[in-house]
Amino acid sequence: MNTVAVSTQSSVSERAKAVAAALVLGFVLIYTVGFAASASVHNAAHDTRHGLAFPCH
């Protein structure tokens, strides 16, 4: 399987960079859509926050 070869070829530092980038992207996005207190962001995200069971209001 090609994916096995690819994942074992990747060096530890390359993986660390990829994990860091993914964590930053993930947490920034989830924080903004689900938790940011700004009224405009809240109003834009309102139905999704309720619809995905994030704490809202």
Partner 1 sequence: MVNRVLAVSLLAGLLAGLLVAALQHVTTTPLILKAETYEAALRAAGPTHAAFTGEARVILAHGAAEAGHGEHAEWKPQDGIQRTLFTSAVTIATAIGFAALLLAGMIAANDVIDERRALIWAACGFVAFGLVPATGLAPELPGSASAELAQRQLWWIVTALVTAGGLFVFLRFDAPWLKALAVLAILAPHIVGAPHPAAPESKVPAEIAAHFAALSLAIQAALWLATGFAVGVIWPWLSRRAVAAQ
Contacting residues toward partner 1, per CB under 8 A: 1-7, 10, 14-15, 17-19, 21-23, 25-30, 32-35, 39-40, 43-57
Paired tokens of 43: 């109003």
Closest CA to 30 of 4, 55, 57: 55
**Start-end of H helices in 1-57:** 2-9, 12-34, 39-51
